[in-house]
């Protein structure tokens, strides 16, 4: 661990909750076809501000990799370290935001067989501890929160669990919603040839959604749950390649998905009745991805390249090659564009890591400028 116990006593609270319920580490039972790997590094935007997740430190093999959470509060220009304290984070962090809160899940690592949770409503100044009695999936889309506080969690074996409120999630009151096997055996699952689940979200009508990879060419595995019956969201792409959903999130009045098919990456926006699909970007490696406000999204690709896109109907715009060590991007906010511009309607920070140092870069007059340096107090060897 990097620091001591949390302000809310995360580790002690999780231990107390776990004592009342056994757990077993989930295992992936059905590998999918060759797929694009999506690391956990990401960013997201809530009413509180912009959040970014990055891994820092040293070797994962030596348990010297420590995942960190940073926030830039709404209206502010500088980032702060707000990683919840008191639980080992070597396994990775997963986050999801609602209008007034953010929940963070700790993936199990070493001998930990469950996933501690932490929720904040004040930009990470204070955290309320919680617990998921299972192994949270190794995917940046493994958690979702609806405006009502209903929470979804995707487990490593493809099971989806739900809690009716944020308070229930914090109290460990989770119930199964579906499993990968059941979803694959449903009519839409059989139709697309579902092989795995990678993300959960909520649709425009606040019904749960799930997304993953399919073997049937052109069919994207995006599903909605209507009163216990899973239905296809109807996302179909041209071409003869299988489709993999890389990310899925809710927007105001709809959803946005990031997709991979063949050697192409695309964005797709759903308003509850129809999909709008972007032109493709050619790439085979995704180092990180994330979503901004109003349906915008970004991709950090191999060789230092990055692509951003605005809302529905937008076009991909290549950013200037990112600074060395960049592990994630984060939206800055709405920018002014020339009339008719197809560029994404946001600027971006590039967050670069070197050991225990995080450097924040911003594009300024056609060049990346260093604007902030954060040194994280990592205690190497503290997790061994």
CB contact at 8 A, 116 and 11 = yes
| Residue 189 confidence (pLDDT) | 96
Instruction: Give CA–CA dist 248/314, Å, rounded.
Output: 17
DSSP 95-164: EEE-SS-EEEEEPP-TT--SEEEEEESSTTSS-EEEEESS-B-SSTBSEEE-TT--EEEEBTTS-EEEES
pLDDT attached to residue 93? 97
pLDDT of 7 reads 39
pLDDT of amino acid 343: 41
pLDDT, block means (10 residues), the chain with 384 residues = 42 48 37 69 95 91 87 95 91 92 92 90 95 94 94 96 92 95 96 96 95 95 94 93 96 93 95 95 92 93 91 91 96 49 61 96 89 91 64
**What pLDDT is attached to residue 332?**
86
In this prediction the pTM is 0.89
Sketch the domain layout of the chain as residue ranges: 1-20+34-134+163-171
**C-beta separation of 222 from 198 below 8 A:** no
User: What is residue 284's DSSP assignment?
Assistant: S
The predicted pLDDT at position 56 comes to 93
What pLDDT score was predicted for residue 13?
A: 52
pLDDT at 14: 53
Per-residue b or e along 68-78, where b marks 16 or more CB atoms closer than 10 Å to that residue's CB: bbbbbbeeeee
């Amino acid at each position: 661990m990097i620091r001591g116990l949390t302000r809310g006593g995360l580790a002690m609270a999780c231990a107390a909750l776990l004592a009342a319920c056994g757990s077993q580490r989930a295992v992936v039972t059905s590998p999918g076809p060759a797929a694009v790997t999506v690391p956990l590094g990401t960013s997201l935007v809530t009413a509180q501000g912009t959040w970014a997740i990055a891994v820092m430190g040293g070797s994962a093999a030596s348990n010297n990799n420590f995942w960190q959470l940073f926030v830039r509060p709404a209206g502010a220009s500088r980032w702060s370290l707000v990683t919840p304290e008191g639980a080992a984070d070597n396994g990775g962090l997963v986050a999801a935001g609602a209008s007034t809160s953010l929940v963070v899940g700790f993936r199990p690592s070493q001998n930990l067989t469950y996933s501690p949770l932490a929720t904040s409503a004040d930009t990470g100044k204070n955290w309320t501890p919680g617990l998921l009695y299972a192994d949270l999936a190794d995917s940046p889309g493994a958690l979702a929160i609806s405006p009502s506080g209903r929470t979804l969690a995707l487990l490593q074996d493809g099971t989806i669990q739900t809690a009716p409120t944020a308070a229930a999630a914090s109290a460990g009151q989770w119930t199964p919603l579906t499993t990968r096997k059941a979803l694959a055996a449903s009519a839409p699952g059989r139709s697309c040839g579902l092989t795995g689940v990678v993300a959960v979200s909520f649709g425009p009508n606040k019904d749960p959604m799930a997304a993953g990879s399919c073997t049937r060419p052109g069919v994207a595995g995006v599903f909605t749950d209507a009163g216990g019956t899973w239905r296809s969201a109807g996302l179909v792409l041209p071409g003869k390649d299988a489709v993999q959903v890389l990310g899925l999130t809710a927007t105001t009045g709809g959803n946005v998905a990031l997709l991979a098919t063949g050697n192409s990456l695309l964005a797709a926006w759903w308003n509850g009745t129809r999909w709008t699909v972007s032109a493709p970007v050619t790439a085979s490696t995704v180092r990180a991805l994330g979503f901004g406000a109003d349906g915008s999204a970004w991709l950090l690709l191999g060789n230092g390249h990055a692509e951003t896109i605005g809302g529905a109907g937008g076009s991909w715009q290549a950013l200037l090659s990112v600074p060395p060590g960049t592990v994630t991007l984060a939206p800055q906010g709405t920018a002014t564009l020339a009339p008719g511009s197809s560029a994404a309607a946001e600027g971006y920070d590039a967050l670069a890591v070197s050991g225990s140092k995080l450097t924040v870069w911003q594009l300024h007059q056609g060049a990346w400028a260093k604007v902030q340096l954060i040194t994280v107090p990592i205690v190497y060897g503290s997790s061994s």
